[in-house]
A and B are shown apart, each in its own frame.
Chain A
Amino acid sequence: GQQVMQIPQYQHVQEGEDFTTYCNSSTTLSNIQWYKQRPGGHPVFLIQLVKSGEVKKQKRLTFQFGEAKKNSSLHITATQTTDVGTYFCAGKIGAGSQGNLIFGKGTKLSVKP
């Protein structure tokens, strides 16, 4: 079936280090979205990428969508303790209202002060 794989599953970093999570799909995606879930919280939308090769930045966060629209990455520069949480990618397969989001299993980030 259609899958969205996300690696790594866990990442432990020292505060100030960089962090990257990768997302790969077996199928071409119409768009990809990223969400963050704090411990005990609910997923919160971060960004959506639509175009092939698209790069978007939000302060210390950089999001990329691959040329083939099958992979994506989220990179955080100089992590802070507030970055702690699980980061999910979600790929949209298919267009229009019938296309559903398929979530990766997430990368759980812990930051040691």
Chain B
Amino acid sequence: NADVMQNPRHLVRRRGQEARLRCSPMKGHSHVYWYRQLPEEGLKFMVYLQKENIIDESGMPKERFSAEFPKEGPSILRIQQVVRGDSAAYFCASSLGVDTQYFGPGTRLTVL
């Protein structure tokens, strides 16, 4: 499958639990971006990674959120001690170079 893959597609967590969101970029893409989208709102940039490096994390909350893109395996967005306000759709996108981004189907996180 050549598309950007994200899993799980839907994730339900209780307050205080951890959420792990995975993103497998399109084959050959080494640039990964994470975005958050609240209902009826636009995409908010969170973090931009290249293999093993965080290039720009200016959109990521300083606490509880972290991201990685290891040499092998998918990129992971990790949210510790989730709160209700973390409920949103989280999209990852990948690109070959620095331009056109191809989006995955998203993970819809619900915090109870």
Give residues in A with beta carbon < 8 Å to B. 6, 31, 33, 35, 41-45, 48, 88, 90, 92, 96-106, 108
Contacts and interface: CB of A to CB of B under 8 A. Distances in A.
Interface stretch (B67-75, B77-85, B96-104): B96-104
Contact of A92 (B44, B50, B99): B99
Interface of B: 31, 33, 35, 40-45, 48, 50, 55-56, 91, 93, 97-106
A43 B45 CA distance: 13
Given A43-B91, A88-B42, A103-B42, A97 B103 contact: no
Most buried by A among B31, B35, B48, B100: B100
A104 B100 CA distance: 16
A45 B102 CA distance: 7
B109 to A, nearest CB: 15
A33 B33 CA distance: 15
B104 A42 contact: yes
Decide if the interface of chain B is mainly helix, strand, loop or mixed. Answer: strand
A48 B97 CA distance: 14
A11 B45 CA distance: 25
Contacts of A42: 91, 103-106
A15 B59 CA distance: 38
Contacts of A92: 98-99
A96 B45 CA distance: 18
B98 A88 contact: no
A100 B59 CA distance: 11
Most buried by A among B98, B101, B103: B98
B98 A96 contact: yes
Given A44-B103, A45-B101, A48-B99, A101 B45 contact: yes
B43 A33 contact: no
Given A42-B106, A97-B31, A105 B41 contact: yes
Contact of A97 (B43, B45, B50, B104): B50
